[in-house]
A and B are shown apart, each in its own frame.
Chain A
Amino acid sequence: MFGYYLDLALRSLKRTPILTGLMVLAIGLGIGASMTMLTVLHVMTDDPLPGRSAQLYTPHLDPLPLDYKQGGDGPDASDDLTWPDAMALLKAHRATRQAAMSGGSLLLRPARAGLQPFYVDGRYTTADFFALFGVPFERGSGWSAADDAASAQVVVLTDAAARKLFGEADAVGRMVRLGEHDYRVVGVTADWMPKPQFYADNVGSQYSDADQFFMPLSTAVDQKLQVNGNQSGWGKGDSTSLTSANMSWLQFWVQLDTPTQAAAYRQYLVDYSAQQKALGRFERPATNAKLYSLMDWLVHENLVPNDVRLQLWLALGFLFVCMVNIVALLLAKFLRRSGEISVRRALGAKRRDIFVQLGIESALIGVAGGALGLAIAQLGLWSVRQRPDDYAKLAQMDASMLLGTLALAVLASVMAGLLPAWRACRVPPALQLKTI
């Protein structure tokens, strides 16, 4: 029966090529616009570390004084940790793995002749960082906790940076001049750039930034290296030096394997805050301490720009109007075939048969519209990629979005066909047959 209905549908569509073309175009435009924006949103809210993200959490404390007023659009000062708090959490070692970190950029002076000095972005962090995030190594390894304690002059380079500096030769053991000091290369990582760069606080460029070197945090603090990112100070006394208790600038991530462990860690943060409050350092309620999971943190950070959301709503509104358009056209088309439908009904076809027949016809329009929509969406994504926006380069369709597009198109057109098909199969046959 399916084959027969397909044949009928094709014939019917061929009989009104212009109208069919209009419907396919409308659904194609609507689907194309929506899928372009859905894909952009999909890549922006995608899991940056699949398989590992469920165990990653970031703890947050509230060391701000009671009378601290948050600046209007400035970053939240309690989003980051202060040096003493981060060191206390590190020392407590309550999670499976933990690392404190901050961004920095340093002038790299290549020893190789013919290479100009250039600035590189990287991360000052602690020994667990690589195991915590599962950073893959090409050669060598990260540094040890002992290196952290000794503020060792060591550095881990990414593959790209090592290649640029040393060519194909093994970089491990070589010296690199960063800023005013020499550092020994202990490891070279494979390409690793989670998007967004969730562990950094470089608001506005998480989708394009990538670290090119990693260095012990203690070394960076000792040598007073350039630190990037938000540094919010408060209160009286020292609020500008990196080790001050009144300035937040560090990000902190922990690995907690089970929900029980996460709950215990959450409790630990509250206890720690209560203890600090008792000591008179914290002023706000201890329950302000929070533990965000990675995906919750991304929601909290609100990385998706308002414009992208607005574009998505616009595209969906567009799809909706296209759908209304198709419902009206299909209704007119189906009702015009009342005579033909009545003949089939009089010859014994059930309402359900008519419904299925017309449903297949709508689905066929959906498939064609989906194919057109896919082409339009690819064109749309291509034009997004041409923009210099931070997230633009990511705008690519993966297999799931590809299938999703087709599914959405077919779903939309079948939905659009439901009402007209239902109306058409309720046409009383006797009345129609009389007029023929």
Chain B
Amino acid sequence: MQIRPILSTLHKHKLTATLLILQVAFTCAIVCNVVFMVANRINRISVPTGIAENELSVIHSTGIGRDENAQARHEVDLAVLRAIPGVTSAAAVSYSLPLSKSDSSYGACPDQESRQRMLQQQSLKGSGCVQPSVYDGTPGLLGTLGLRLAAGRDFRAEDYVVGFKNKPAVAIITRALAQHLYPGKQALSQTMYFDDKAVRVVGIVDTLLRPRLRTPGVDGDSIIWPQLPDGSGVDYVLRSTPRDRHAVLAAARTALLKASPDRLIDPQQTQTYTEIRAAYFQRDTTMIGLLIASALGLLFVTALGIAGLANFWVQQRTRSIGIRRAIGATRGDILHYFQIENFLIVTAGIVLGVLLAVLLNLLLMTHYELPRLPLWYLPIGALVLWALGQLSVLSPALRAAQVPPVVATRSV
């Protein structure tokens, strides 16, 4: 098959061919970036929290009685909750849980020198100090969340302090935080400094995500310390089998209200962890849906354009196809002619599109904090567009191949 006659035909349809090339190029550029954005978002929403999410549910209670002893209240409530059939364990936290959005974080320094450096420059940057999220909770929190200690020990009864004004003397940190605070060193038994308070690391857990994500590098920097919740509002974490969660939540609401009617239980803050995760990433899931829809829409429109134009060209060239058939061209020749023509146009579009994709990515990087587009996206995008082009030209090309040689003898 010769490419020369195809090129000279395209030369006669310069404008139309250029437009088609442009369309393929823009589609290639946009779709490559959109797919990349989708991959990024999927990465984001599948970040592990480190806890046994599918066995957990959370119920929030706000006490409205006056002068109530919070710890006594929590103990009674927890006993009531643990008695619910299906609940294997329960614990109370003030408000922070992974992906719960309510975050309290403190500057934590690995040693006194780093702390001095941080105070001098009034910034964490470069001082060696980091800002981990801090989780409090009642005894048994680790087990309820399904966290396993990689090293060290769980808290003892004497470790616990009451309320956020008192800082405990010991803490359990995540492996990520251990590496950020003490790179290359053994973190267990080290002493961290929060303002002027020294806190000893007694345990290390594998993963525990922050309540509110920041940047992927520091999202795992969390601390649990033995501090009992001390407010009228409290979150109870319940562990049960995945199937029992909704039943357990309903029973928990009834049981809590029975134990003390002097409280508010907001149905919107009575959730399984699956719901908490879905709510946290709700915008991302919307965006993923939209991005996929628009990428498919673009490919669809481009396929329509290619097919529509090929159809037209086949109709327009019916006579010349007939002549070619009459002087010896086989059906395969005609078929290949249109396929190669399409291949050439799409290839030109892809060359331009790859350039545009990189440019568009640069633009998005400056405005939307998107990372750099990995180069392997480009050949895959090219393959998809080639396949799309061949697929959409197939039907018109087959129709062209069916044109009988006798057409050549008819005038118009």
Contact = CB atoms under 8 A, between A and B. Distances in A.
Interface of A: 18-19, 22, 25-26, 29-30, 33, 67, 69, 73, 107, 109, 116-119, 180, 305-307, 310-311, 314-315, 317-318, 320-322, 324-325, 327-329, 331-333, 335-336, 387-389, 419, 423, 436
Contacts of A22: 304-305, 308
B377 interface: no
B16 A387 contact: no
B16 A318 contact: no
Contacts of B308: 18-19, 22, 329, 332
A310 B368 contact: yes
A324 B309 contact: no
A45 B16 CA distance: 40
14 contacts: A19-B311, A29-B297, A33-B294, A107-B64, A118-B264, A306-B368, A318-B301, A320-B26, A321-B26, A324-B22, A325-B23, A328-B20, A336-B312, A389-B282
B298 A318 contact: yes
B319 to A, nearest CB: 10
Contacts of A324: 19, 22-23, 26, 305
B43 interface: no
A332 B26 contact: no
A328 B309 contact: yes
Interface stretch (B138-146, B151-159, B175-183, B283-291): B283-291
B248 to A, nearest CB: 23
Contacts of B301: 26, 29-30, 318, 321-322, 325
A328 B290 CA distance: 27
Contacts of B283: 305, 307, 389
B313 interface: yes
Contacts of B368: 306, 310
Interface in B271-310: 279, 282-283, 286-287, 290-291, 294, 297-298, 301-302, 304-305, 308-309
B122 to A, nearest CB: 6
Contacts of A314: 30, 34, 290-291, 294
Contacts of A67: 122
B316 interface: yes
A177 B37 CA distance: 51
B122 A321 contact: no
A248 B321 CA distance: 80
A19 B312 CA distance: 9
B16 A328 contact: yes
Contacts, number: 106
A311 B290 contact: yes
Contact of B286 (A119, A322, A387): A387
Nearest to A26: B301
Contact of A25 (B302, B304, B316): B304
Q: Chain A interface mostly helix, strand, loop or mixed?
A: helix
B297 A318 contact: yes
Nearest to A384: B286
Nearest to B37: A310
A119 B298 contact: no
B1 interface: no
B330 interface: no
Contacts of A419: 15
Given A69-B123, A321-B23, A331-B19, 5 more contacts: A180-B66, A307-B283, A325-B302, A332-B313, A419-B15
Given A306-B368, A321-B26, A329 B309 contact: yes
B88 interface: no
Instruction: List the 3 closest pairs (A to B, CB-CB), nearest first.
Output: A328-B19, A325-B305, A332-B312
Given A322-B301, A324-B19, A336 B315 contact: yes
A30 B297 CA distance: 9
Nearest to A179: B64
Contacts of A116: 264
B195 to A, nearest CB: 15
Contact of B264 (A119, A306, A318): A119
A22 B305 CA distance: 8
A124 B291 CA distance: 42
Given A328-B309, A423-B15, A321 B298 contact: yes
Contacts of B214: 73
A10 B123 CA distance: 71
Nearest to B34: A314
Contacts of B302: 321, 325
A320 to B, nearest CB: 7
Nearest to B41: A307
B304 A331 contact: no
Interface in B8-64: 15-16, 19-20, 22-23, 26-27, 30, 34, 64
B327 interface: no
A148 B62 CA distance: 31
B304 A26 contact: yes
Contacts of A26: 301, 304-305
Contact of A317 (B26, B64, B286, B305): B26
Given A324-B26, A328-B305, A436-B412, A307 B287 contact: yes
A65 to B, nearest CB: 11
A386 to B, nearest CB: 10
A18 B395 CA distance: 14
Which of A305, A306, A329: most chain B CB closer than 10 A? A329
